[in-house]
Amino acid sequence: MKNQLLREIQERVREETEGSKDEGRDTYDLASHERDREINFLLNARERDKLTAIEEALQRIKDKTYGMCEGGGENCEGEIRLGRLKVLPFTRLCVKCQEDMERESKIQKKFEEERGYRKLAITDIEEEF
């Protein structure tokens, strides 16, 4: 899996460097090319994150902690179930801890959005005075 991801990243980098000549392109071609580059950058970032997760999973195997949940939440199952590991071999959390983390993330995001709206509202009022 790791080697396959590395090959895909290398291929994308090679294609990107070969196709980076802007001569003879109009504005629309350049904009489209730039959008494609941005998408590739985001995909490469995800792949780098995945490679890092794989490396960390391999280290946990060496440390004999692979399959143990790192969440330690209130509802933690302790061990990550085999079915989950087969689907997500580099996961660090059991299902319960993953659900807790996602729930907290949603709450945090909502709080930040509301806080941003409040700041915007206060700034608008201040500008009127």
123 and 108 in a single domain? The answer is yes
41 and 81 in a single domain? The answer is no
59 and 14 in a single domain? The answer is yes
Q: Report the pLDDT value the prediction gives residue 46, as an integer from 0 to 100.
A: 81
Q: Of 22, 49, 66, which residue sits at a domain end?
A: 66
6 and 45 in a single domain? The answer is yes
**d(Cα 118, Cα 110) in Å, to the nearest integer?**
12
55 and 83 in a single domain? The answer is no
Structure tokens at 108: 């945090």
43 and 8 in contact (C-beta within 8 Å)?
no
**d(Cα 64, Cα 103) in Å, to the nearest integer?**
29
56 and 74 in a single domain? The answer is no
State the helix-helix crossing angle for 2-18 and 27-63, rounded to 10 degrees.
160
Specify whether the backbone of 105 is left (phi greater than 0), alpha (psi in -120 to 50) or beta: alpha
pLDDT tens for the chain, 129 residues: list them: 667 766 776 676 666 555 555 555 677 777 777 777 777 777 777 888 888 888 899 999 999 999 999 988 788 989 999 999 999 898 999 999 999 999 999 998 888 877 766 655 555 555 555
Radius of gyration of the chain (CA): 22
85 and 113 in a single domain? The answer is yes
51 and 6 in a single domain? The answer is yes
Domain extent for 128:
70-129
Structurally, the chain folds into a number of domains equal to: 2
Residue type, 40: N
Structure tokens at 101: 């983390």
